Amino acid sequence: MRGDLSACAEPLTVWSPHAYELGRTISRHLLLDAGDVRTQLIGFDVPVHRLGADLLLPAHVDVSLPERAVLAAMGIGADLRRPWVLANWSAAWVYLGGAPPERPAVAVPHRARTRGGVTLHQFSLSPADILTIGGCPVMSPSRVAADLLRTGPDDPGVIAALRTLLERGWTQKTVVRERIHEIGPGRNSRRSLEALERL
């Protein structure tokens, strides 16, 4: 369903006025999934990407890096909080494009859980781990690569994303290796380093 969806940008004010203004601008491309049969039959005559629970982005709309950051945040909706940082697959989507993740993911300074369809990951982040893109805090490419490797060193999707981050110059193997070491020992740290060396 089309309409004025600029109000969907309102939660972005917790991050920055720039994110809010960019969200209001990009909202003209969005569709609202009203969840009824009429929307299913009439509104989806083009392929769409789901952004969170109820926002849809037509797949043919070309969005820039800052717009992807804002759209990832808009997918979180009213649950968005100031200390959160776009992380994991949401941050990877900001850098790589393609289809957004099924569930928005953020780094939080407290216990990891799910809230309102958003996957929360507890991370200790240094200032170097956070970039501001489109007025939104986004985990840096090297930290994204390290964290994705640690969560799925044998996952073909993780390996493909890491390879693309490296090929496009977003990060380097030596920097990702350093980030894995800085994060410290833990789940899959050895296997992550081995997967990185195989690239």
**With helix as H, strand as E and coil as C, how does 29-60 read?**
HCEECCCCHHHHHHHCCCCEEEECCCEEEECC
Per cent of the chain over pLDDT 70 is 88
| Structural contact between residues 133 and 66, judged by C-beta atoms closer than 8 angstroms | yes
Taking only the tens place, the pLDDT of each residue in 43-102 is 556 788 888 878 888 888 999 999 999 999 999 988 888 889 999 999 999 999 999 998
Domain boundaries, the chain: 140-199
Query: What are the angstrom distances between the C-alpha of 6 and each of 15, 42, 138?
Result: 16, 22, 22
Local confidence band at 7 (pLDDT 50, 70, 90 cut-offs)? confident
